[in-house]
């Protein structure tokens, strides 16, 4: 990133605090930051991964005597610090610290806008690294100006850094929230401060992975929550905190529905939540509303039917309709053959039944063939006696 590209961008953040080591310990436990000493004596760097994101230094004695609370100072990029400082004063701003060189690092100056909010301009000696970070957690993602005159402040920064007016959000009793843009991208917002006892100031937001877990850590390590977590337009969640020394900073958790680089706590770009994909089902493959698995099973259904028809054709199993007619015809042919054979056979002679004597084998067989296999009783016995009597008379005559 060259010097021209950094104009109007938030490129550095610095905390002035009465207890540098206490602040370093707090932020290392609350945010995904680590720390290391810099080449400047008494200046500590805060790193997110391998990127330097902020610096901590001891608050000047004069500020401590005036009981000035610890504060974070934002640094805006400038291609020419001296020219930018002069332009700021012409537009109604004030010069708080004259342009100064930091050997091997760059040149900076501290200013205030017409409403009194302090900021610094910085021109690095070496080109700053560009491109999106692979892990945005731990980096500054939004900047907010609480001021007495948002319209006047926007006109000042627009002429100084080329910022443009973005969308406006209505906050009810809190007034209107003016989004500011740089090169077509939202970078922060301005609003009328509700507490006139506090001076106008910039508030920086640090992105975190889990806002709830960070808030728990803030309370556990001596910090305070100035504004409880809440949802802002766009679906993101934010909260304001104070470190143990009183330094104010904000936390920002991106919405899971629309993650990605370039989103901001109050971004107005449409965020259409991703449509949830339906899980593939195997119990109802024929439904069109199923996922990918359902569609594939619908296409395979005709193939299964064709396989069944092929198997039936191979086995050549006849149906009921195809087998009934040949069987009936065969039965008719057998019946006709039997009738013709019966006509050709001579009729059998009918022989008179010979009387059987009681007790003979023929008599026992005849009796056993009767219904039930028992000898008859009653009238049947009388009939048998008469038949036997007639047989005896015939024998006597002989």
CB 37 within 8 A of CB 44: yes
pLDDT classification of 386: cutoffs 50, 70, 90: confident
Per-residue pLDDT tens digits for 260-316: 444 456 543 333 333 444 444 444 334 443 444 444 433 444 444 444 554 444 444
Per-residue pLDDT tens digits for 48-58: 998 999 999 99
pLDDT classification of 155: cutoffs 50, 70, 90: very high
Is residue 319 pLDDT above 80, yes or no?
no
pLDDT classification of 336: cutoffs 50, 70, 90: confident
The two structure tokens encoding residue 397 = 């005559």
**CA separation for the pair 17, 267 (Å, rounded):** 32
- Of the candidates 68, 46, 175, the one whose C-alpha atom is nearest the C-alpha of residue 118 is 68
CB 113 within 8 A of CB 74: no
Per-residue pLDDT tens digits for 351-367: 555 555 555 555 555 55
CB 32 within 8 A of CB 209: yes
Locus of tokens 């930018």? 84
What is the separation, in whole angstroms, between the first and last Cα of the chain? 154
Per-residue pLDDT tens digits for 68-105: 889 999 999 999 999 999 999 999 999 999 999 999 99
Average pLDDT over the chain reads 78
Average pLDDT over residues 134-142: 85
pLDDT classification of 318: cutoffs 50, 70, 90: very low
Q: What is the pLDDT of residue 279?
A: 43
Average pLDDT over residues 316-324: 47
Is residue 33 pLDDT above 90, yes or no?
yes
The two structure tokens encoding residue 114 = 């017409």
| Signed CA dihedral, 388, 389, 391, 392: sign only | positive
In this predicted model, which residue has the larger pLDDT, 354 or 240? 240
Is residue 17 pLDDT above 80, yes or no?
yes
Q: What is the pLDDT of residue 297?
A: 38
Domain ranges of the chain: 10-253
pLDDT classification of 20: cutoffs 50, 70, 90: very high
Q: What is the pLDDT of residue 381?
A: 73
Locus of tokens 């569609």? 295
Q: Which of these CATH numbers, 3.10.20.30, 3.10.180.10, 3.40.1050.10, 3.60.15.10, describes 10-253?
A: 3.10.180.10
Q: Which residues contact 58 (CB under 8 A, 6 or more apart)?
A: 16, 17, 18, 20, 42
In this predicted model, which residue has the larger pLDDT, 312 or 328? 328
């Amino acid at each position: 990133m060259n010097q021209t590209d950094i104009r109007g961008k938030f490129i550095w953040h610095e905390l002035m605090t009465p207890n540098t080591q206490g602040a370093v310990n707090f932020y290392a436990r609350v945010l995904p930051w680590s720390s290391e000493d810099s080449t400047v004596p008494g200046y500590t760097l805060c790193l997110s991964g391998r990127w330097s994101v902020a610096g901590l230094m001891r608050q000047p004695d004069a500020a401590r005597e005036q009981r000035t609370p610890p504060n974070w100072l934002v640094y805006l990029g400038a291609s020419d610090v001296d020219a930018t400082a002069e332009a700021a004063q012409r537009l109604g701003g004030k010069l708080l610290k004259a342009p100064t060189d930091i050997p091997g690092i760059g040149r900076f100056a501290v200013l205030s806008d017409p409403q009194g909010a302090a900021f610094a301009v910085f021109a690095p000696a070496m080109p700053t690294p560009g491109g999106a970070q692979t892990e945005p957690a731990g980096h500054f993602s939004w900047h907010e100006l609480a001021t007495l005159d948002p319209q006047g402040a926007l006109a000042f920064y627009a002429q100084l850094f080329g910022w443009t007016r973005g969308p406006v959000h209505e906050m009810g009793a809190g007034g209107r929230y003016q989004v500011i843009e740089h090169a077509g991208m939202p970078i922060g917002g301005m609003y009328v401060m509700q507490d006139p006892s506090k001076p106008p100031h910039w508030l920086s937001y640090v992105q975190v992975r889990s806002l709830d877990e960070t808030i728990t850590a803030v309370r556990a390590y001596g910090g305070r929550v100035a504004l409880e977590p809440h949802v802002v337009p766009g679906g993101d969640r934010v909260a304001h905190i104070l470190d143990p020394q009183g330094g104010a900073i904000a936390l920002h958790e991106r919405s899971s529905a629309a993650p990605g680089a370039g989103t901001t706590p109050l971004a107005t770009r449409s965020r259409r939540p991703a449509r949830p994909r339906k899980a593939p089902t195997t119990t109802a493959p024929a439904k069109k509303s199923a996922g990918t698995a359902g569609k594939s099973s619908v296409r395979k259904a005709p193939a299964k039917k064709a396989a069944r028809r092929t198997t039936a054709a191979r086995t050549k199993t006849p149906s009921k309709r195809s087998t009934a007619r040949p069987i009936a015809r065969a039965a008719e042919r057998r019946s006709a053959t039997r009738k013709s054979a019966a006509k050709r056979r001579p009729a059998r002679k009918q022989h008179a039944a010979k009387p059987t004597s009681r007790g003979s084998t023929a008599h026992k067989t005849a009796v056993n063939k009767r219904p039930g296999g028992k000898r008859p009783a009653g009238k049947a016995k009388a009939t048998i006696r008469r038949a036997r009597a007639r047989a005896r008379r015939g024998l006597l005559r002989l």
